[in-house]
Amino acid sequence: GAGVSQSPSNKVTEKGKDVELRCDPISGHTALYWYRQSLGQGLEFLIYFQGNSAPDKSGLPSDRFSAERTGGSVSTLTIQRTQQEDSAVYLCASSLAGTGTNEKLFFGSGTQLSVL
Amino acid sequence: GEDVEQSLFLSVREGDSSVINCTYTDSSSTYLYWYKQEPGAGLQLLTYIFSNMDMKQDQRLTVLLNKKDKHLSLRIADTQTGDSAIYFCAEDSGGGADGLTFGKGTHLIIQP
C-alpha cells in the first residue's frame, strides 16, 4: 500500500483478554517502530525492528507485551492479559533505513485500544 | 535520559502567526523534527532541521534552532483553521534502536 496500515483501527476488549495489533509498513522500509500514545502523554517508544530482528526491546512496559516481525514486513504487537492501563492508541511507524540519520518516520493511523 | 518539553496548548486567532516552542536535553541530536497529528490520524512529518542549521523555511513554516539553549520553535504564518492539530517536537538522540524521542505535543487551537 501507499502508507503504513494498521488494524484494527479500534479494539475494545475485556480486562484479562489477549489482543493482537497488526502493522503493515510501507513496502521497502526496513525499519519499523511501535509507539504508545496515552491520553495527555507524548509518544512512548515501545520497540524497534530492523528487518526481522529487534535490537532493542527495553521500551516494552512489561512481559505481557511482545512483538514480532516476519518476512521483514508485517509486524504484530501482542498484549497478554490486558489491563485497563493498557488503554491507549498504539502507533506503528516505518522508515527506509533506521540508521539514526534523518529518520523520516511514516506513521499509521493507529489502533485505539480500550480495555474495559 | 533524553527529555523533550513542550507547552500543552496554544490558542491563536485565524490569520495570526503561531509559534510553538520546544526544549530538549540531548545535545548530541543530529536532527530535530516537527510532526503534526490531526484528530484520529497518525503523525505526519511536517519539517525537520539539521543540528548545524539555525533556521529553515518551508512556505508558511519557519523552524528556528538555538543549539546553545537547546530550544526549537515552529512558526506557522497566517494560521488557518486547517492548522488545528497537535504538534509534536522530536529528536533523534538515539536514532535507530531508540527511535525518536517525542514531546507530549502542543494542541494548537484556532479562534475565528
The predicted-structure confidence for B32-89, as pLDDT tens digits, reads as follows: 999 999 988 889 999 999 888 899 999 999 999 999 999 999 999 999 999 999 999 9
| Nearest Cα residue to A33 out of A6, A13, A64 | A6
DSSP-assigned states of every residue in B62-87 = EEEEETTTTEEEEEESS--GGG-EEE
Q: Strand, coil or helix: what is A85?
A: helix
Query: Which of A42, A59, A103 is closest, CB to CB, to B102?
Result: A42
pLDDT of residue A39: 79
Is omega for the bond preceding A55 within 30 degrees of 0, making it cis? no
* Contact between A102 and B4 using a beta-carbon 8 Å cutoff: no
Helices (H), chain B: none
Q: Lowest-confidence range among A5-9, B79-83, B98-102?
A: B98-102
Do A97 and A32 meet the contact criterion of CB atoms below 8 Å apart?
A: no
pLDDT of residue B98: 62
Q: Is the pLDDT of residue B10 over 80?
A: yes
Q: Which amino acid is at B9?
A: F
- CA gap A73, A30 in Å, rounded: 8
- Report the residue of A105, A106, A112 to disrupt the B interface, i.e. the one with the largest count of B CBs within 10 Å: A105
Q: Is the pLDDT of residue B21 over 90?
A: yes
Tell me the CA distances in angstroms from B33 to A5, A20, A102, B14, B85, one per residue in order. 22, 30, 9, 24, 16
Residue A51, sorted as left (phi over 0), alpha (psi -120 to 50) or beta, turns out to be left
pLDDT of residue B79: 97
